[in-house]
Structure 1
């Protein structure tokens, strides 16, 4: 019995030892976890200030009635494009046509009276040479001529007024553009100053916005350091228009107005950029974002924003060296439109960083790095 126990115990120890060795071997064979890594992208970037703004048509004209009468014809459709000189509305012209006819007749009468008065003066002047008429008759004849000339001037002025008033009956477009819906229907009686529609000239659009005076001064200094300062430090600007899905389209504009004075109550400066709009893609009153370039940085180091973490010490990334993860604090700069963030301090162009899954990696961890493209898909 004693001999049997002594045989079983060594056998058990041998089995446990073999099991332990097998486990150690299995542990050593566990593969390292794969993580995507990449080199930062290096490219030139432009620093920008962004501000909200809105679009305004190059010219906005309220089309109003300048005379009174019944509106007998509306020639426009809402949103219609019109050309300069097109007739938009007609106010009943009959009364003003009659006034014009009366004025023309009055002018003709005045001219006839002048012919008669001048003929009488000529005869009296001839008779006065032989003292056949008195000096009073001569003066009276000359006065009649002068009165007839004045009457002609008055008749001509009345004719011009009548022509102008008749012209007011035909309301024309003062420039090319698009019209809004009419505010008065045909058949209604209109008076002077009654608004009929609004005309928007949209060949060019204005982007209106304001910028803090302190930011303007700072941006001017930045531009001056690169030798590009002038009275309009931004020169060209990007106007960003977003649709309901969040997709954006960028239109380039030129700064054409910088207020010479800051608003004392807000500390801001009014600015305006002009944008060419040949296809009428932009509309008056649309809210936009204005991007103002003020400085260019050569060979900036950039990584995707999603590859940068945040904690109490600030922003950080995980750098990979010799297949080992290293936690590193970084200083960041501008976020580009493609969601790439500039790293101003803490990462070199030839280093590798972990691009994703930051929550599953730890400092000092050994990994199997998988190199991928820097740019985001």
Structure 2
């Protein structure tokens, strides 16, 4: 019995000790979370504005015949590269060869009539003074000579037209570039002329190539003011651009601006811009979408890791820790990614201690007290040289 009483006393003592420990922990509260903090990097950066756009050929030509006839030959493979002057289609030339021969015969006849009329004028000229030929008869012969000479000019013009139509039976590439597929096959009748002509194929140039995009009114005004102050090249000068394709992460393709429209679109409130790039390897194709970076000037900015920025409803915030160790939420205005860090254009001071990690901890929230540890913010270049 005494042994039982001894064990029961020990259990009661242990229970009392546990109660005391729990009471102390509850009085102390949860442990203070620890976070790493660092001041943002203050640096003068080059601002690049980004736009989405698409490539467009510098030259696009619809190949159509200038004369009507049946297609006799096709000289290209669908989708191949063609050079200016390469033959593409041959229209049956025989009717046009006959027309050219007929025009040559008309010229020979007209020349004979001119020679006859000229000889009559030459014979009549000395006879006018003697009265053997009247003045009226001489005038008539001179007029006949003028008429036959005019008829000769008409026949010569008809020959040029016939030879030109014969030349047009071979449809040649008007520009160099990549040709589309044929729209007609051998044996089909095609219509030439000014209206209702048959589309044979299309050709687009590839090198150089244009990139089209739209810029906002606010960006346009900023560019114009920077041009006036000399921060960037003027509107009519070739400002540099960088291009990145959909499957690329680096801005490796370089070009220059070569056109800015003369008015804003009243519906979208944007203005059309155009850059030009070399395309020697022909990786760019008309219609391909990509991203463009346009030089937007230089500015003093603060850089923080993109992971330190969190969303709060409709705004972006950064957690900062005051001298009292209390977390505060700082609404910020963000810019692009520069050197691997997010640009903060407003809402943050260079002396602020930005929370770098521990954001996933629910205890790290505005108004909470935290223990801070020194952290470090590094650019992509600094991390690469590590």
Aligned Cα root-mean-square deviation (Å)? 4.0
| 1:1-377 pair list within 5 angstroms | 40-192=40-192, 193-221=197-225, 224=228, 227-228=231-232, 230-231=234-235, 235-243=239-247, 247=249, 249=251, 251-298=253-300, 300-311=301-312, 315-318=316-319, 326-336=327-337, 340-344=341-345, 353-360=354-361, 362=364, 363-366=368-371, 373-375=378-380
Shift of 1:172: 1.1
Deviations 1:30-89 (A, max 9, x none): x99886666644443333444333221111111001111111111112222222211111
SS class of match (2:282): coil
Separation in structure 1 between the aligned mates of residue 85 and residue 237 of structure 2, nearest angstrom: 40
Separation in structure 1 between the aligned mates of residue 267 and residue 346 of structure 2, nearest angstrom: 38
Q: Sort the Cα spacing of 1:249 and 1:373 in 2 relative to 1 into closer, same or farther, 3 A.
A: closer
Shift of 1:104: 1.4
Separation in structure 2 between the aligned mates of residue 249 and residue 344 of structure 1, nearest angstrom: 23
Separation in structure 2 between the aligned mates of residue 231 and residue 370 of structure 1, nearest angstrom: 44
SS class of match (1:139): helix
Aligned 8 A contact 2:238 2:258 in 1: no
Q: Sort the Cα spacing of 1:13 and 1:90 in 2 relative to 1 into closer, same or farther, 3 A.
A: same
Aligned 8 A contact 2:37 2:373 in 1: no
Aligned 8 A contact 1:325 1:367 in 2: no
Q: Sort the Cα spacing of 1:233 and 1:343 in 2 relative to 1 into closer, same or farther, 3 A.
A: farther
SS class of match (2:201): strand
Shift of 1:280: 2.3
Aligned 8 A contact 1:318 1:354 in 2: yes
Separation in structure 2 between the aligned mates of residue 369 and residue 227 of structure 1, nearest angstrom: 38
Separation in structure 2 between the aligned mates of residue 234 and residue 325 of structure 1, nearest angstrom: 51
More strand by share: 1
SS class of match (2:281): coil
Q: Sort the Cα spacing of 1:237 and 1:254 in 2 relative to 1 into closer, same or farther, 3 A.
A: same
SS class of match (1:195): coil
User: Please, what TM-score do these two structures have when normalized by structure 1?
Assistant: 0.79
Q: Sort the Cα spacing of 1:85 and 1:202 in 2 relative to 1 into closer, same or farther, 3 A.
A: same
Shift of 1:352: 6.0
Q: Sort the Cα spacing of 1:349 and 1:215 in 2 relative to 1 into closer, same or farther, 3 A.
A: closer
Q: Sort the Cα spacing of 1:343 and 1:271 in 2 relative to 1 into closer, same or farther, 3 A.
A: closer
Q: Sort the Cα spacing of 1:214 and 1:36 in 2 relative to 1 into closer, same or farther, 3 A.
A: closer
Deviates more, 1:177-186 or 1:257-266: 257-266
Separation in structure 2 between the aligned mates of residue 342 and residue 71 of structure 1, nearest angstrom: 63
Shift of 1:217: 2.5
Gapped regions of structure 2 (runs ≥ 5): 25-30
Deviations 1:164-187 (A, max 9, x none): 111210111112222111111111
Separation in structure 1 between the aligned mates of residue 373 and residue 134 of structure 2, nearest angstrom: 130
User: Please, what TM-score do these two structures have when normalized by structure 2?
Assistant: 0.77
Aligned 8 A contact 1:53 1:287 in 2: yes
Aligned residues, how many?
363
Q: Sort the Cα spacing of 1:265 and 1:313 in 2 relative to 1 into closer, same or farther, 3 A.
A: closer
